[in-house]
Structure 1
Amino acid sequence: MNQAPGPILGVANGATLHNTVRPSWPEDVLSWLLGSPLPATHLQVLDLGAGTGLGTRSAAALGHTVIAVDSSEDMLAVLRKVNEELPSSMSARISTALGSAEHLPLEANSVDAIMCLQAWHWVNPALAVLECDRVLRERGMMGLAWHTWDRSKEWVQALAAIVEPAGRAADQTRSVPRVLASRGSFERQDFPFSYDMTVEQLLGLASSWSFVNERPDRDDVLARIYQLGSSAASAKTGLLSFPHVTAAFRLDRSGESTAVWNR
């Protein structure tokens, strides 16, 4: 059996790893989430559960001013470190704040849009939605998105069998979270993309998943993933093509009767 390199199996599920191995958020996805504003329209955006700023930077690249809020100082420290390498005109549009969805460190009616990327499942929804109500300006935009696996490829199905021994978890992207649905109508759009990576990068990505990193048999699971990746990678390039679909939801602002975020 092929074994993964020792340093990879020993990688911690830390903020730096998260920033290095997780897929980014394309600007067209974030533009849609924020309501597809005209290019000259610059919003005040809250990135809720921003992590290391993978989405924050994409929103700032669109010209928006973004406040990244996260409950992990380690994550925000990586975000700030990466931002030092950005053009000053872009980094100036990004600020950070330690906080949670249940206790947002923002003034009332202070943001034009809220985006929550791959993070809503970590919050207390009843409290979080009240805080979103408080900080979002009237007719502001709310958007949520998750990167999900496209399981049409055989090797992705085999990966799922390794990391989901009890079967696939409930699909959180079937519909907008119930507590948000009471705030107005949401529309959904799916954005397919392929994440190309080496076997070592796949192993790093798997190490960043809490449902893998926290398993008592973590090293064995990662060794099996390494074996799978080695057999599935292209003999020509050594790369794996990991198909994904970004499931995105945003408030539907097309009709007056259903478009208002109720306060």
Structure 2
Amino acid sequence: MPTVPAEGPLPSPREPHEHRRTAESFGADAERYDRARPGYPEDLVRRIVAGSPGPDVLDVGCGTGIAARQFRAAGCAVLGVEPDGRMAEVARRLGTEVEVSTFEAWEPAGREFDAVVAAQSWHWVDPVAGAAGTARVLRPGGRFAAFWHVFGPPAEVAEATAAACRRAMPDAPFDFAAMARPSSDPYRSVLDRTREGLHEVGGFGEPEEWSFAWERSYTRDAWLDVLPTQGALTRLAADALAGVLAEVGTAIDAMGGHFTLAYTTVAISAVRADSSVS
């Protein structure tokens, strides 16, 4: 079963969107982020594009433009909004137009879009302010979609990662046990908050939840390239990070140096019903 959120265990007890330092830490190695992070199922991209009234897409928290490039390849015109200038610089270099801002503070200047998407970023957005901002910029019939990867690394890898992280960051506000503890729906609370935000703002049809299952094989080196891009590790000192990677690498070596990871991409989507929200 896919069990672990791709950003790593979310900090607690505050809402994820309140952890700005973690939210804006992924640009510390933006090139690695773009290289190592996986893309999104083409079926998901096609479903969003087919269910939108036109090609204009706003990508909230676009990062280095991984999802934006997929939407552009599907024929869309994409504008990204990204709070981290380092991530935005990579996205621009790779062809995505980006404006640097949090979504809550971003000024649309009268622009409207056929779809608003958020690829593994909506948990960093206040759910009510985010829904209100989406309502302002979506054309009638426009589609909102937020989506996340959930995955379940082999027990040996998950347990080694959790143990190494506890030693490296004994006082960090992360639930490292979640890396090894089975959970069928780790984003349930985020999906529910997103739904509640849409309901509170109004002007949307009833949100739908979608799910897409897929797999990816990783070598030892490829997985150790992914790990430093996860939220729990993005602000770890270089020597401590090296220790974590060494422990996890040893666990993967014991498995033969590679493994296959089962992913599920979960999404929540809603259509803008009218233009009455201001």
Q: Give your verdict on TM over 0.5.
A: yes
- Over residues 57-106 of structure 1, what are the superposed CA-to-partner deviations in whole Å (9 max), with x where a residue is unaligned? 101111111111101111111112223xxxxxxxxxx4221122102232
Structure 1 distance, partners of 2:156, 2:210, is 26
Q: TM-score, normalised by structure 1?
A: 0.76
Distance 1:194 1:123, change over 3 A: same
In structure 2, the gaps of 5 or more residues are 1-26, 166-173, 180-184
Distance 1:75 1:136, change over 3 A: same
Note if contact 1:26-1:58 (Cα within 8 Å) is conserved in structure 2.
no
Query: Secondary structure at 1:112's aligned position in 2?
Result: strand
Query: Secondary structure at 2:68's aligned position in 1?
Result: helix
Q: Which amino acid aligns with 2:148?
A: W
Structure 2 distance, partners of 1:226, 1:196, is 15
Query: Secondary structure at 2:40's aligned position in 1?
Result: coil
Query: Secondary structure at 1:188's aligned position in 2?
Result: strand
1:179 maps to 2:197: yes
- Over residues 145-183 of structure 1, what are the superposed CA-to-partner deviations in whole Å (9 max), with x where a residue is unaligned? 0011136x4345435644576422892245342212434
Aligned to 1:212: 233
Aligned to 1:62: 74
Structure 2 distance, partners of 1:105, 1:27, is 30
Task: Work out which of the two has the higher radius of gyration on C-alpha atoms and give 1 or 2.
Answer: 1
Aligned to 1:146: 148
Structure 1 distance, partners of 2:225, 2:49, is 31
Structure 1 distance, partners of 2:271, 2:86, is 35
* Two-structure CA RMSD over aligned residues (Å): 2.7
Distance 1:181 1:34, change over 3 A: farther
Structure 1, 138-147 or 153-162: larger mean CA deviation: 153-162
Aligned to 2:178: 168
**Which of 175, 184, 193 does residue 214 from structure 2 map onto?**
193
Give identity over the alignment, percent: 23
Structure 2 distance, partners of 1:190, 1:159, is 28
Distance 1:53 1:230, change over 3 A: same
Note if contact 2:151-2:262 (Cα within 8 Å) is conserved in structure 1.
yes
Structure 1 distance, partners of 2:211, 2:136, is 29
Q: TM-score, normalised by structure 2?
A: 0.72
Aligned to 2:102: 100
Structure 1, 96-105 or 155-164: larger mean CA deviation: 155-164
Note if contact 1:70-1:97 (Cα within 8 Å) is conserved in structure 2.
yes
Q: Which amino acid aligns with 2:99?
A: A
Q: Which amino acid aligns with 1:68?
A: G
Cα drift, residue 108 of structure 1:
3.4
Structure 2 distance, partners of 1:232, 1:261, is 55
1:49 maps to 2:61: yes
Aligned to 2:22: none
Query: Secondary structure at 1:102's aligned position in 2?
Result: coil
Structure 2 distance, partners of 1:261, 1:207, is 42
Cα drift, residue 44 of structure 1:
0.6
Cα drift, residue 130 of structure 1:
2.0
Equivalences for 1:19-98 in 2 at 5 Å?
A: 19-34=34-49, 36=51, 42-83=54-95, 94-98=96-100
Cα drift, residue 244 of structure 1:
1.0
Note if contact 2:91-2:97 (Cα within 8 Å) is conserved in structure 1.
no
Aligned to 1:5: none
Query: Secondary structure at 1:240's aligned position in 2?
Result: strand
Structure 2 distance, partners of 1:261, 1:244, is 36
Query: Secondary structure at 2:186's aligned position in 1?
Result: coil
Number of residue pairs matched?
229
Structure 1, 51-60 or 217-226: larger mean CA deviation: 217-226
Query: Secondary structure at 1:211's aligned position in 2?
Result: coil
Structure 2 distance, partners of 1:195, 1:159, is 20
